[in-house]
Structure formats: structure tokens, C-alpha cells
């Protein structure tokens, strides 16, 4: 009974955090179009609402971008910024065409502040182009069983029906959380990075309030676009129970 009470409280908190639900008589009433809560250890679904509905997912797309970059074996390689990456819309770190960065450093603006230009630079370096990287994203999604997902961009901006489902995002994130390097990135609260020539310095702060406002939280990613609205993927461990929303 004690664990059930903790679980109910955790569900309510996660959904209130994304400003999509309210609690009434200890039962969450979900405003979100789609939601899911799973046990990370067993993978069992504890709560769901329209969890397989295909929807735009904004910057939660970057979960896949990050794990592919980490698994690429290219983290120590030099990324040269293209004109296309420089032109990415806000939110961005204002990369300049021709600048050089170490790939592993670009994952900090990607996951801490959701930089769209960093996402494009990463995608182009690994996939040869945004389109080439999207193919890698979709291949990985299918391998993981995220069958109702279509990635078109590495940053999740509203373009050409880039979409997933709450269920698929849970599958992708559960996989990513098994990687210690991925967890290190999403739990970092502040980081400085430099251009390779040390001429420019950037300081990034993790914009995910969940890390500071809930004991045991470790990210994962927020997102917003006009089409997607507010999106949130969060995970937490408390008293030996690990949950993913």
C-alpha cells in the first residue's frame, strides 16, 4: 500500500509539472493528448492515455539525436559548422559557419538548452546530411520497436510530419537511459564548452526544472513548438523504484 501511494503521488507530480493535468480526489485527470508512465526495470505500463496516438514531439526528438551521437563512435571527432546549421532557428547557440567543435561538447547545448543549430551540426557530421541522419534515426527507432515514429529532423521542429507517440518515446528513452554517458549529459546542470580554437566560450544551464524540483529526478527532456505544444519526458528513481513518464 505504501508503494502504491508513492506511485500515485509520482504520477500526479509528473503530469502537473508539464502543466497538462490536475489532481482531483487523488486521481490524475489528464489534459494531455497523450501520456504514459512505465516501470523502468520491468517495462510494465502503469498508466496510459492515448499512448499510441501519433503526434508531433518537438525537442523530445533530441533524445534520439543524442543517443545516436553517443553510439556513433565519433564523440572525439571535429565538427565543422555548415551554413545550414548556422541558419537553424531559435532556440540556438548561434554557431557560425566554419567554426569547429568537438562533437561530444555539442551534446551539452543539445540536451541542456535544446539548441537547434547544435542538433543540425551533429546530424550533418554523423549522417552526412540532415536527411541522412534522419534515416539513421528511423532505422534505430524500428530496431527498438518504436514503429509509429517518423523522424524528419534532428531537432523536432515542425516539418514534414516529424512525429512519434508517448509509447514509442518511452521505448526510445528507456533504451537511452541504459547508456551511462547519456545519463551523464541529461543530469549535468551546468557546462562550459569552447570552439576548438578556444576563441569562443559558451556556458550552458540545464533548463529542465524537474532536476531541481523533484528528489531523485534525472531529466530527461522538455520540448515546445506551436504545433506540438508542451512536451515532457521525465524519469526518476526513489526508494528503489525507477519510473519513466
Q: pLDDT per residue over 106-129, tens digit each?
A: 999 999 999 999 999 999 999 999
CB 165 within 8 A of CB 149: yes
Instruction: Classify burial at 46, counting beta carbons within 10 Å of its beta carbon; exposed 0-12, middle 13-18, buried 19 or more.
Output: middle
Catalytic residue among 114, 115, 164, 245: 114
Catalytic residue among 59, 82, 242, 245: 59
What's the CA gap between 80 and 137, in Å, rounded? Answer: 21
pLDDT tens, residue by residue, 4-50: 545 555 555 555 454 444 444 555 788 899 999 999 999 999 999 99
51 an active-site residue?
no
Residue 159 pLDDT:
87
Ordered strands of the 45-49 beta sheet = 45-49, 35-39, 241-244, 229-238, 217-225
Catalytic residue among 49, 62, 92, 140: 62
Q: What are phi and psi of 101, to 5 degrees?
A: -135, 155
User: How many other C-beta atoms lie within 10 A of the C-beta of residue 207?
Assistant: 13
CB 10 within 8 A of CB 236: yes
114 an active-site residue?
yes
Q: Is the pLDDT of residue 243 over 80?
A: yes
Within a 13 Å sphere around the CA of 54, how many CA atoms are in the beta-carbon half?
A: 9
62 an active-site residue?
yes
Torsion of CA 208, 213, 217, 222, to 10 degrees: -20
Amino acid at each position: 500500500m505504501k508503494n502504491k501511494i508513492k506511485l500515485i503521488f509520482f504520477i500526479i507530480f509528473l503530469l502537473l509539472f508539464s502543466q497538462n493535468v490536475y489532481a482531483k480526489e487523488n486521481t490524475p485527470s489528464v489534459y494531455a493528448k497523450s501520456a504514459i508512465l512505465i516501470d523502468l526495470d520491468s517495462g510494465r505500463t502503469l498508466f496510459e492515455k492515448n499512448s499510441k496516438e501519433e503526434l508531433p514531439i518537438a525537442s523530445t526528438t533530441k533524445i534520439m539525436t543524442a543517443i545516436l551521437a553517443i553510439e556513433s563512435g565519433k564523440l572525439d571527432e571535429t565538427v565543422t559548422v555548415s551554413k545550414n546549421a548556422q541558419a537553424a532557428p531559435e532556440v540556438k547557440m548561434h554557431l557560425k559557419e566554419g567554426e569547429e567543435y568537438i562533437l561530444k561538447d555539442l551534446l551539452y547545448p543539445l540536451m541542456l538548452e535544446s539548441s537547434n543549430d547544435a542538433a543540425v551540426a551533429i546530424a550533418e557530421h554523423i549522417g552526412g546530411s540532415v536527411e541522412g541522419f534522419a534515416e539513421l534515426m528511423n532505422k534505430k527507432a524500428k530496431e527498438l520497436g518504436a514503429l509509429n515514429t517518423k523522424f524528419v529532423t534532428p531537432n523536432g521542429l515542425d516539418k514534414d510530419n516529424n512525429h512519434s507517440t508517448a509509447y514509442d518515446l518511452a521505448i526510445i528513452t528507456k533504451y537511452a537511459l541504459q547508456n551511462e554517458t547519456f545519463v551523464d549529459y541529461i543530469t549535468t546542470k551546468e557546462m562550459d564548452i569552447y570552439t576548438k580554437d578556444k576563441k569562443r566560450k559558451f556556458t550552458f544551464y540545464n533548463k529542465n526544472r524537474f532536476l531541481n524540483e523533484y528528489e531523485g529526478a534525472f531529466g530527461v527532456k522538455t520540448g515546445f513548438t506551436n504545433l506540438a505544444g508542451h512536451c515532457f519526458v521525465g524519469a526518476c528513481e526513489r526508494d528503489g523504484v525507477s519510473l519513466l513518464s
